[in-house]
Amino acid sequence: MNTYMARNETIEHQWFVVDATDKTLGRLATVVASVLKGKHKPIYTPHVDTGDYVIVINADKIQLTGKKWDQKLYYKHSGYNGGLTSRTARETMDKFPTRMVEKAVQGMLPHTKLGRAQAKKLFVYAGSEHKHFAQQPKELEV
């Protein structure tokens, strides 16, 4: 008996929508990353993109535990000497409400070409509206 290996031609991708209202950031990100990878499917193959598309709505209503709103830092670097800047989670949420969810999920995906392809299937929106109604996404419970 041979081990089944999925191929790109045989994979059918589905669409899921997740409501992030009052969900903890890390717990939401682990479920979303698992669906993006395709680990919820019996045909999961590590080197093939078997994952599904995920739409996250209400990203501006996520929760963080403890004092993370003031102590958790997000860094970026301009590439120049002394170009490191940081923002707290509260500042990041005020200026870019979707970035915290995107960064949390991308950190849980592989840091390869496959991971970048999987990350392109994530759509995060701050409000409750999204533009992917034609794909008829299914509700995903977290």
Q: Quick one: DSSP state of residue 83?
A: -
Q: What is the pLDDT of residue 3?
A: 87
Q: What is the mean pLDDT of each run of 10 residues along the chain (142 residues)?
A: 89 96 97 97 94 97 97 97 97 97 97 97 97 96 91
Distance CA 142, CA 4 (A): 29
Long-range (24+ apart) CB contacts under 8 A made by 79-87 are none
Specify the pLDDT at position 40.
Answer: 95
SS3 103: helix
Looking at residue 99, its pLDDT comes to 96
Residue with tokens 């682990």: 30
Residue 112: which residues within 8 A CB-CB, separation 6 or more? none
Domains and CATH numbers, the chain: 15-64+97-132 (3.90.1180.10)
pTM of this prediction?
A: 0.94
Q: For residue 17, what are the contacts with CB-CB under 8 A and spacing of at least 6?
A: 54, 55, 56, 57, 130, 132, 137, 138, 139, 140
SS3 of residue 12 by DSSP: coil
Contact, 55 vs 98, CB < 8 A? no
